[in-house]
Amino acid sequence: MQPKKARREEILDRLEEAGGQRTGVAKTVQRQTLVPEADIFGVATFYSLLAQPEAGIRVCQGLTCQLAECEHLKSELEADGKSSVFASCLGRCDLAPAFWDPEDESQIDRAPGSPSSPDLAIDLAAPDSLAYEALHKAAEKGPDWVVGELEASGLTGRGGAGFPAHIKWQAILDQPETERYVVLNADEGEPGTFKDREVILRRPHLVIEGLAVAAQCLEARDIYAYVRGEFGRVRAALEEALQAARKAGHLDDGVTWHFVDGHGAYICGEETALLEALEGKRGMPRMKPPFPVEKGFRGKPTLIQNVESIACLAGILRRGGAWFRGLGRTEPGTKLYCLSGHVERPGVYEAPMGTTLRELLAMADGVSGTLKAFSPGGASSGFLPASSIDMPMDFGGLRAAGTMLGSAGVVVLNDTVDMVWAALTQAVFFEEESCGQCSPCRIGTQILRQALERYRDGDPGALAYVQDVAWGMGEASICGLGQAAALPLTSALKYFPEEFGLASAPGGSTTS
């Protein structure tokens, strides 16, 4: 008989097999797993793909897709007799207005943005290679060499936080606990971001090789790839690459690979929420510390790394950490920047870390119209004005400017965009995606959305308290969602006060 904890980990699979939350399903899964029915119901209703199993086609209502008039797409689908619902963001901003039809994922196809070059760490347009040189070199030279090269490379996490990779790897090596896990974060959900999708579709061997290096170096016996549920073809590409690498004899048979589907919850991209999901629970972020490197999956040391971070490893180990560091301009390495919104050629562009928006726009054939504002790193990064076009796009510089590089989901807005509307669109996203666990975020996201709606509907005093609410959210929320959720509004107030009926930017710590 399996221990209860392992049974709990089966809940999401069982719910998926049963076709999602329908009458009687929680009871069936309760019998299969022995987890209380109410608990199962709570899990099922947390995840949008399980909670609305018969919703049909998902139409994206992220900011970029709203710019591309996603409402019309939805009306057209309905006129064709196809049922559809709006979804928060589908990771297809380059294809706006985007939709996801679980029966047909052909819409995901797109040419890579940057042409191939030996000076790119990932190089999406290059042919993928089954050589696995880095893995064999790492096996020969050992963990200290691997961590040393990672340190020399200066690689920082590409999932959003920009944390130095070598520190996490070393922290796991330092743990006395020998049951360790490696987790790939392929939940890519930040509006404006679709780079991890492209990495896996075009260079899946870079990801498999990077994960194999991590497991070998950290002596992990299990690798979990958590892939967002709307990326069926992406997951398939990864699984095919794994089979090919196995067939070529590159992989250690002692390591078990697990592929896990996300179920439609943006918050599960947050690393500890992801761990909760892997454990069969609602994806609610954990308090940190302890960090996953100490107590992660099943309470054991766990390396969680973003797809782009993992894909950088092969090049770093093959060509040396110093090579990778030298690719960057203001910080180490190249970076995958996602360009969408009002640009002529949306796509994923790989460029030296610290490239400016002006340069990225040149790669993407320019702005459609006249540049007004942009989000440098997805919804969580708020907005910058057109005057920031020459600001280096890196982790440190953008942080110092009160915003963030995040996942480098760059959304470009032209001068037809009303910033009150743009801030409201992002406020709706955060309110819908808050896990609801802590009150500053649960209530704060609701207050901000309501204040913006009241202002839009003609109440000039509606925004009186938003700076205080934003401060409370930033200081007291458990995770990055609540800490960043006010930024679209506070940054829009700061840079476009006239659109909110103000003569100048309001004071307050969150807008400075």
Ligand X SMILES: Cc1cc2nc3c(=O)[nH]c(=O)nc-3n(C[C@H](O)[C@H](O)[C@H](O)COP(=O)(O)O)c2cc1C
Task: Summarize as ranges the residues that interact with ligand X (CB under 6 A).
Answer: 157-161, 163, 185, 187-190, 267, 269-271, 304-306, 309, 479-481
Q: Which does 306 bind (CB under 5 to 8 A by kind): ligand X, ligand SF4, none?
A: ligand X
Q: Which does 309 bind (CB under 5 to 8 A by kind): ligand X, ligand SF4, none?
A: ligand X
Q: Which does 271 bind (CB under 5 to 8 A by kind): ligand SF4, ligand X, none?
A: ligand X
C-beta closer to ligand X: residue 9 or 187:
187
* Residue choice 98, 417, 428, 438 for contact with ligand SF4 (CB under 6 A): 438
Please answer whether residues 232 and 317 qualify as being in contact, where contact means their C-beta atoms are separated by less than 8 angstroms.
Answer: no
Using a 10 angstrom Cβ sphere, with 0-12 exposed, 13-18 middle and 19 or more buried, the burial of residue 230 is buried
| Residue 261 to residue 267: CA distance in whole angstroms | 14
Listing from the earlier edge strand, what are the strands of the sheet with 99-100?
Answer: 84-87, 57-60, 99-100
| Residue 14 to residue 20: CA distance in whole angstroms | 9
Q: Which residues contact 144 (CB under 8 A, 6 or more apart)?
A: none
Q: Which does 304 bind (CB under 5 to 8 A by kind): ligand X, ligand SF4, none?
A: ligand X
Q: Which does 159 bind (CB under 5 to 8 A by kind): ligand X, ligand SF4, none?
A: ligand X
C-beta closer to ligand X: residue 122 or 267:
267
Token pair of 266 as six digits = 């943006």
Nearest distance from C-beta of residue 430 to ligand SF4, angstroms? 8
Query: How many other CB atoms are found less than 10 A from the CB of residue 53?
Result: 17
Number of residues that bind ligand SF4 (CB under 6 A): 15
Q: Which residues contact 209 (CB under 8 A, 6 or more apart)?
A: 132, 134, 135, 245, 250, 313, 314
Determine if 479 is a binding residue for ligand SF4 (CB under 6 A): yes
Q: Which does 482 bind (CB under 5 to 8 A by kind): ligand SF4, ligand X, none?
A: ligand SF4
Q: Which does 148 bind (CB under 5 to 8 A by kind): ligand SF4, ligand X, none?
A: none
Q: Which residue is nearest to ligand SF4 (CB)?
A: 482
Q: What are phi and psi of 336, to 5 degrees?
A: -90, 115
| Residue 70 to residue 233: CA distance in whole angstroms | 23
C-beta closer to ligand X: residue 165 or 361:
165
Alpha-carbon distances, residue 508 vs 259, 467, 479, 505, 511 (angstroms): 45, 6, 21, 9, 6
CA atoms within 13 A on the CB side of 325: 11
What does the per-residue mask of binding to ligand SF4 show for 255-294, with x meaning CB under 6 A? ------------x----------------xx---------
Peptide bond preceding 53: is omega within 30 degrees of 0, i.e. cis?
no
Query: How many other CB atoms are found less than 10 A from the CB of residue 509?
Result: 11
* CA dihedral of residues 403, 409, 415, 421 (deg, nearest 10): -80
* Residue choice 50, 481, 484, 486 for contact with ligand SF4 (CB under 6 A): 481
* Residue choice 305, 477, 490, 510 for contact with ligand SF4 (CB under 6 A): 477
From the list 88, 92, 58, the residue with the least C-alpha distance to 192 is: 92
Q: Which residues contact 174 (CB under 8 A, 6 or more apart)?
A: none
Q: Which sign does the torsion angle of CA 108, 114, 116, 119 carry? A: negative
Q: Which residues contact 96 (CB under 8 A, 6 or more apart)?
A: 60, 62, 64, 65, 67, 68, 70, 340, 341, 346
Query: How many other CB atoms are found less than 10 A from the CB of residue 6?
Result: 13
Nearest distance from C-beta of residue 405 to ligand X, angstroms? 11
Q: Which does 441 bind (CB under 5 to 8 A by kind): ligand SF4, ligand X, none?
A: ligand SF4
C-beta closer to ligand X: residue 161 or 386:
161
Determine if 434 is a binding residue for ligand SF4 (CB under 6 A): yes
Q: Which does 477 bind (CB under 5 to 8 A by kind): ligand SF4, ligand X, none?
A: ligand SF4
C-beta closer to ligand SF4: residue 411 or 478:
478
| Residue 480 to residue 97: CA distance in whole angstroms | 27
C-beta closer to ligand SF4: residue 409 or 482:
482
Nearest distance from C-beta of residue 473 to ligand X, angstroms? 13
C-beta closer to ligand SF4: residue 218 or 274:
274
* Residue choice 108, 218, 275, 435 for contact with ligand SF4 (CB under 6 A): 435
Q: Which does 409 bind (CB under 5 to 8 A by kind): ligand SF4, ligand X, none?
A: none
* Residue choice 143, 232, 396, 436 for contact with ligand SF4 (CB under 6 A): 436
C-beta closer to ligand X: residue 29 or 238:
238
Token pair of 350 as six digits = 């790989």
Please answer whether residues 70 and 96 qualify as being in contact, where contact means their C-beta atoms are separated by less than 8 angstroms.
Answer: yes
Q: Which of residues 439-458 bind ligand SF4 (CB under 6 A)?
A: 441-442
Question: Which among 26-34, 58-66, 394-402, 435-443 is the span making contact with ligand SF4, rule CB under 6 A?
Answer: 435-443
C-beta closer to ligand SF4: residue 356 or 483:
483
Q: Which does 305 bind (CB under 5 to 8 A by kind): ligand X, ligand SF4, none?
A: ligand X
Interface with ligand SF4 (CB under 6 A)? 267, 284-285, 434-438, 441-442, 477-479, 481-482
